[in-house]
Amino acid sequence: MSTQEPESGTESPQAQRLERKEQRKQEREAAESEAAAEVEGKTVTLKVFRYDPEIADKQEPRFDTFHVPFEEGMTVLDALIYARDQFDSSLTFRHSCRQAVCGSDALFINGSQRLGCQTQISDLNNSEVVRVEPLPHRDVVKDLVVDMEHFYEQMHAVDPFFDPDEEPDGEQLQSRENREKVKMSTRCIWCGACMSSCNIAAGDNEYLGPAAINKAYRFYFDEREGEEKQQERLEIIEQEHGVWRCQTQFSCTTVCPKDIPLTEHIQELKREAVKSNLKFW
């Protein structure tokens, strides 16, 4: 066993680790200061759609421009709230939870359906101007607010609730495997982004649409659903304006803020509709 003293001037391993830790801290603080310096004085240019049918000089649609001070982590919704609170209190848009759960702030941002609270300004930094419009293919009520009544009617058309054959005596359990199958479909927040992006829905007002069909998928494939109701639900979605109107463009899947594979769900229900009509002699 060596009893040799460490050479004079040689740091212990612990001291070396502490030194490296302190160096990393200084580098991190320097990077943060540099980033803060870049952000300071930076503004976001919002070009926002405006329309108000109740005021004569605002009945003609137009775009207003707002220059909003940029902050790290700012979302499009944050910028809109600042513009409303600081520049124009009449600017109208929907928002609620600000956590991508309520689905109320679905907007057409830089040419794509997105949630305002989920869209970081920094993710749009390739654009000099952030263009914000109401969802396409919807009647505009005021500014960025659209009429969602028809969307809700389509959602309710598929009977979005359980209807078992018999009332369970107690808790009705679901297997893990079945839960995994329907899990993604349960993430729908009724934002309407998918419906707005669908070219078929734009031309066929009776088309159920991807959100409603996804809701039907969620209950149809749930093992706790009653067989009679399951068949009724299948008959609803295989009608003329149901799953067969989908042309598999994947636009709904692309814009879904919850990453639900909507197109895949529609195709699976198509297969179920075909199987239910097969007869063997």
CATH number of residue 128's parent domain: 3.10.20.30
Kindly report the pTM of this predicted structure: 0.81
Per the listing, tokens 């399951």 go with 230
How many H-runs (helices) and E-runs (strands) does the chain carry? 10, 7
Q: Which two tokens stand for residue 86?
A: 């600081």
162 and 108 together in one domain: no
Per the listing, tokens 């949630």 go with 115
Angle at CA of residue 117, ends 114 and 119, nearest 5°: 50
How much is the pLDDT for 128?
Answer: 81
Q: What one-character DSSP code corresponds to residue 142?
A: E
Q: How many CA atoms lie within 13 A of 50 on its CB side?
A: 20
256 and 243 together in one domain: yes
Residue 8 maps to a domain: no
157 and 139 together in one domain: no
Host domain of residue 164: 149-276
How much is the pLDDT for 278?
Answer: 74
How much is the pLDDT for 214?
Answer: 97
Report d(CA 194, CA 211) in Å as an integer.
7
Residue 25 maps to a domain: no
103 and 176 together in one domain: no
Residue 36 maps to a domain: no
Which amino acid belongs to residue 231? Q
- pLDDT tens digit sequence for 161-212: 888 877 778 888 899 999 999 999 999 999 999 999 999 999 999 999 999 9
Q: How many domains does the chain have?
A: 2
Give every CB contact of residue 96 below 8 A, 6+ residues apart in sequence. 102, 104, 105
- pLDDT tens digit sequence for 232-261: 999 999 999 999 999 999 999 999 999 999
Report d(CA 134, CA 68) in Å as an integer.
20
Q: Are 182 and 268 in contact (CB under 8 A)?
A: no
Question: With a cut of 50, which residues of the chain have pLDDT below it?
Answer: 1-2, 37
Q: Are 196 and 251 in contact (CB under 8 A)?
A: no
